[in-house]
Amino acid sequence: MIRSQLRANSPLFIVALGTLFFAISLSYHAGEFLALGGSVGPLIAFLLDGGPAFAVAYFGYRLSGADLSTHSQYSVLRWGVGGGLLFLGVIGAMFIVHAVESRPVTEPVFSLLIAAEVGAIAGLIAGYNNAQARADARRAEVVSDALAFVNRLIRHDLRNDLSAIYGYATHIGDQPTAADSDRDPAEIIARNADEALVRIDTSHAITETLLDDPELEAVDLVPVVTEFADRIQDSFAVSVTTDLPAEAVVAANDGLRPVVDNLLENAAEHNDASEPRIAVTVDTEPETVRLRISDNGSGIPDAQQPLFETNNGATGGLSLVATLVEEYGGEIRAEASQLGGAAFVVDLPRADANDRS
């Protein structure tokens, strides 16, 4: 319980830590000031340890607005507490040695307070730099995944669409064969051109979401799930069942398509059951829409943990999915499936259906 609160409110706890340091400093030096009859010494000492205390509190305030995840902010808090304890332990050990050797120990509170504050500041700075470096590395991995996805989209899917358009365009006017007698070239060209435009829009949405500040809109998740569920069932030897409401409008963009596509494809490709099955459900809540994709495979191997931070093989697409979901203000997690395999659960902010363009 305490750990979960720390994770959710790490900047607030850093502010509280700085405030505690400041209160101890103020109380201690106020007593000194009164005991010494208004001497300037306690005021100078208060500036020396009150300043770092204020810096710790201010760091927590700035951290609350930093572009770091809750997990990264918690990591910064741990670094700060660890640094403070380390410096406090070193100075405390020195005082213990002095006491054992019967040497005088002067103003231990003042020295210990400065040590804890300076150690906390050093730890916070080191922790922030470490968290920022890890975030930059993860962002680089995600961009790499996005580029790989766009490359596949252009080189494979878009190429197939254009090849079909070219093939049927060059035969317009020719006498149709028996196999093609029931196919309208103009209709096929139009369909493939429409799919090509959708793929281009999807590529643009991905790059905009990952590299810029995306403009989100109201997108109905239901037809997206229906489309890709049908595609997966046609492309893989897998049974796909869906339980969908009439509509489920979320705040997203065309990047929602690869989210659904990757999760369904992952569930199909890595399902090693003799009769592979996938169950897709969409549930609407007052504030969120929940997408659950379950399979009856062998589950998630420990070697592939953590799923959303690696950039190898099967999990590269999941890293892209997780980042897109986060950019939409949602959350994604993996858990055991009621079918016996793995389940991916995506929670997305619900949008007003009237906002759809």
Q: Render pLDDT for 200-227 as a digit per residue (tens, 0 to 9).
A: 777 777 777 766 667 788 999 999 999 9
| Whether residue 54 is found in the same domain as residue 173 | no
Tokens representing 175 are: 């006498």
| Whether residue 187 is found in the same domain as residue 282 | no
Please say whether the dihedral angle defined by the alpha carbons of residues 338, 344, 347 and 348, taken in this order, is positive or negative: negative
| Whether residue 175 is found in the same domain as residue 279 | no
* DSSP 8-state class, residue 171: T
What are the pLDDT digits (tens) for 90-149?
999 988 988 888 888 777 888 899 999 999 999 999 999 999 998 888 777 767 766 776
CATH code at position 345: 3.30.565.10
pLDDT score recorded for residue 15: 94
| Whether residue 231 is found in the same domain as residue 316 | yes
- Mean predicted confidence (pLDDT) in 29-56: 86
| Whether residue 156 is found in the same domain as residue 127 | no
| Whether residue 133 is found in the same domain as residue 158 | no
What are the pLDDT digits (tens) for 168-183?
777 666 655 545 555 6
| Whether residue 133 is found in the same domain as residue 145 | no
Would you say residue 256 has pLDDT above 70?
A: yes
| Whether residue 107 is found in the same domain as residue 18 | yes
pLDDT score recorded for residue 315: 41
What are the pLDDT digits (tens) for 278-325?
999 999 998 999 999 999 988 776 544 555 554 444 445 687 788 889
Which of 140, 175, 190 terminates a domain? The answer is 140
Q: Answer whether 56's CB lies under 8 Å from 14's CB.
A: yes
Q: Which domain holds residue 158?
A: 141-211
| Whether residue 136 is found in the same domain as residue 153 | no
Q: How far apart are CA 263 and CA 248, in angstroms?
A: 18
Q: How many domains does the chain have?
A: 3
Which of 211, 245, 269 terminates a domain? The answer is 211
Which of 176, 194, 211 terminates a domain? The answer is 211
pLDDT score recorded for residue 32: 82
CA dihedral 198, 199, 204, 210 (to 10 degrees): 120
| Whether residue 20 is found in the same domain as residue 50 | yes
Cross-strand partners of 290: 283, 347
| Whether residue 65 is found in the same domain as residue 170 | no
| Whether residue 13 is found in the same domain as residue 132 | yes
Q: Answer whether 204's CB lies under 8 Å from 163's CB.
A: no
- Note if the pTM is more than 0.95: no
Residue 10: exposure state from Cβ atoms within 10 A (0-12, 13-18, ≥19): buried
